[in-house]
């Protein structure tokens, strides 16, 4: 009897998790981009998330994703523009100026500009800054 209840509960939980993961926002914002980045199918990523996250973690993940997106973009820009060398090691650009350039690029990306185009423009701006 208890095993039937447990089995039904697990089945219901799986159904509820599946509904969350299959929502349009989840698919567009998380599942498709992350599965592509990881080199796995969307279904494989869904299985990983269903197995690794409980219901409350799953429900809270999308808002956390949204709030961390900007920070992750800033970190990627920091790396792609070699700010770690230019500011942190060589100190030929101030932290404030580096942050301003990164912030401008990140806002462009958040507002719909492709990351690649934003980085190209950001490199040009960085070179102009360094040449002053």
Q: What is the pLDDT of residues 10-66, one digit of tens each?
A: 778 888 888 888 888 889 888 998 899 899 999 999 999 989 998 888 888 888 887
CA-based max dimension of the chain: 77
Q: Is residue 61 part of a domain?
A: no
113 exposure class (CB count in 10 Å sphere: 0-12, 13-18, 19+): middle
What global pTM score does this model have? 0.67
Same domain? For 43 and 89 the reply is no
Same domain? For 84 and 124 the reply is yes
Domain boundaries, position 40: 1-53
Same domain? For 20 and 74 the reply is no
pLDDT tens for each residue of 53-66? 988 888 888 888 87
Same domain? For 112 and 77 the reply is yes
| CA-based nearest residue to 57, from 30, 19, 17 | 17
Higher pLDDT among residues 118 and 19, named by residue: 118
- Taking the C-alpha atoms of residue 88 and residue 85, their distance in angstroms, rounded to an integer, is 6
């Amino acid at each position: 009897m208890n095993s039937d209840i447990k089995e039904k509960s697990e089945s219901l939980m799986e159904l509820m998790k599946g509904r969350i993961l299959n929502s349009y926002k989840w698919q567009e914002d998380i599942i498709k981009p992350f599965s592509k980045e990881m080199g796995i199918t969307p279904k494989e990523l869904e299985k990983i998330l269903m197995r690794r996250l409980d219901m409350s973690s799953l429900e809270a993940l999308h808002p956390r994703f949204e709030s961390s997106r900007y920070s992750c973009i800033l970190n990627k820009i920091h790396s792609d523009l070699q700010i770690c060398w230019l500011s942190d090691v060589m100190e030929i650009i101030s932290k404030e100026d580096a942050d301003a350039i990164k912030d401008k690029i990140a806002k462009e990306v958040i507002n719909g500009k492709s990351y690649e185009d934003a980085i190209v423009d950001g490199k040009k701006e960085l070179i102009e800054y360094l040449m002053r």
